[in-house]
Copies of this chain bind each other. A is one copy, B any other.
Amino acid sequence: MAKVTPWEVEGNIDYGKLIEEFGTKKIDASLHHKIAEIAGEEHVMLRRDFFYSHRDLGLVLKDYEAGKGFFLYTGRGPSGDMHLGHLIPLIFTKWLQEKFKVNLYISLSDDEKFLHKRNLSWDDVDKYSARNALDIAAVGFDPERTFIFRNSEYAKNAYPLLMQVAKKITFSTAKAVFGFTNETNVGMMNYPSYQIVPSFFEKKRCLIPCAIDQDPYWRIQRDIAGPLGFEKAAAVHSKFFPPLQGIEGKMSASNTESAIWLDDSEKVVRKKIMKYAFSGGRETVEEHREKGGDVSVDVSFQWLKMLFEQDDKHLKDIESEYSSGRMLSGELKQLLVDKVNAFLEGHRARRDKINIDEFMYSGKLSKKMWETTHKA
């Protein structure tokens, strides 16, 4: 059985069933149409149903069209260096910021990761927070409209609102939603409050792009937003970016070989994809030529589909070549290797030029945030 909580994703996931379980909605044709109409295009992750579920996305678009606007919020738990999977929601978020010209808040939940991971020290989260901030900024956000902050550092500004949120969440609610037990530490029990706080940074509606496993936080947010005088958060939910070893579960930092790290060299990327990327190809070349490959389980194809081959015609060609057996697994993998290496090269070049202070302290939005104490 698949298991999905904010801290665990395992097994073969039925994404349709998650929509039912979580009570969210599929992004339907009319929403797709509306977004394309406003943005002038649809991001590849929307077009190909990688972002596939939502809460109140229609209201967000309505607010936007009515001139009321909205804002974006997402986050990253700095428990280690970042891999490709971590960038996925950020890449989509960047597109949303660019198309809608809205403020974006990105939390580095150093507190959560420290509290949750037994062997992670505060010095570790310190170090990873600094490095992660650079990788996040390198995605290409607007430095004047983006505020990247560490929960620990922003605590003074957030504290009154944090307490106002915490006062609204009982242990029984937290237990039901997150499965807390007697052995859970008391810091972790209060952490959901801080994850909710940035969704109240403005009086507008907040749109949260995230993997669907993060949805439980927003259910609590939606219960308490009204009583605190804020809007219920809206969300767009993605599927999980699959690990190299197979399309089950999600890319995990705890298995180095299942992930491509942002600092992996060209050679390492090539080696990992060639060696580990689960293939939909057949046992022998002869069999493959005869029966063709299975794109539905082929990780290389799925990565191309989710992000790396954005040209729909090219992707279609690849699919038909591979399914028919004309393209071999090694050839398909080489396509991905080239795309991933080009992507990583661009990412690192952007990262080298980042002035992180703009995003965290001195940009227009950041500066304003450090002058604000948040209260309901």
Stretch at the interface among A40-48, A94-102, A170-178: A170-178
Does B163 contact A159, Cβ atoms closer than 8 Å?
A: no
- Name A126's closest neighbour in chain B (CB-CB): B160
Complex Cα gap A171–B180 (Å)? 9
Does chain B have a CB within 8 A of A199? no
Does B186 contact A187, Cβ atoms closer than 8 Å?
A: no
Number of identical monomers bound together in the oligomeric complex? 2
Does chain B have a CB within 8 A of A28? no
Does B185 contact A166, Cβ atoms closer than 8 Å?
A: yes
* Those of A126-169 within 8 Å (CB) of chain B: 151-160, 162-169
Does B163 contact A172, Cβ atoms closer than 8 Å?
A: no
Residue-by-residue, is A25-49 near B (CB-CB < 8 Å gives 1, otherwise 0)? 0000000000000000000000000
Does B190 contact A170, Cβ atoms closer than 8 Å?
A: no
What is the distance, in angstroms, from A291's C-beta to the closest C-beta of chain B? 54
Known: A187-B190, A187-B193, A190-B187. Is A182-B167 also a contact (CB below 8 A)?
no
Does chain B have a CB within 8 A of A189? yes
- Name A157's closest neighbour in chain B (CB-CB): B156
Does A167 contact B376, Cβ atoms closer than 8 Å?
A: no
Does chain B have a CB within 8 A of A181? yes
Does chain B have a CB within 8 A of A294? no
Complex Cα gap A170–B186 (Å)? 6
- Name A120's closest neighbour in chain B (CB-CB): B167
Tell which of A114, A164, A167 has the most Cβ of chain B within 10 Å. Answer: A167
Complex Cα gap A186–B194 (Å)? 11
User: Pick the contact of A163 from B114, B163, B184 — CB < 8 Å?
Assistant: B114
Complex Cα gap A153–B164 (Å)? 15
Complex Cα gap A193–B114 (Å)? 15
Known: A111-B159, A163-B114. Is A169-B186 also a contact (CB below 8 A)?
yes
Does chain B have a CB within 8 A of A282? no
Does chain B have a CB within 8 A of A115? yes
**Inter-chain contacts of A111 with B (CB < 8 A):** 159, 163
- Name A376's closest neighbour in chain B (CB-CB): B122
User: Pick the contact of A187 from B167, B184, B375 — CB < 8 Å?
Assistant: B167
Does chain B have a CB within 8 A of A183? yes
Does B159 contact A184, Cβ atoms closer than 8 Å?
A: no
Does chain B have a CB within 8 A of A363? no
- Name A156's closest neighbour in chain B (CB-CB): B156
Complex Cα gap A111–B183 (Å)? 24
User: Pick the contact of A156 from B152, B166, B185 — CB < 8 Å?
Assistant: B152
Residue-by-residue, is A245-258 near B (CB-CB < 8 Å gives 1, otherwise 0)? 00000000000000
A-B contact pairs, 17 of them (CB 8 A): A122-B376, A152-B159, A155-B155, A155-B159, A162-B187, A163-B187, A165-B187, A166-B185, A169-B187, A170-B182, A170-B185, A171-B171, A171-B183, A171-B184, A172-B182, A175-B182, A186-B190
Top 10 A-B pairs ranked by shortest CB distance? A166-B187, A156-B156, A190-B190, A172-B182, A155-B155, A152-B159, A155-B159, A186-B190, A155-B156, A169-B186
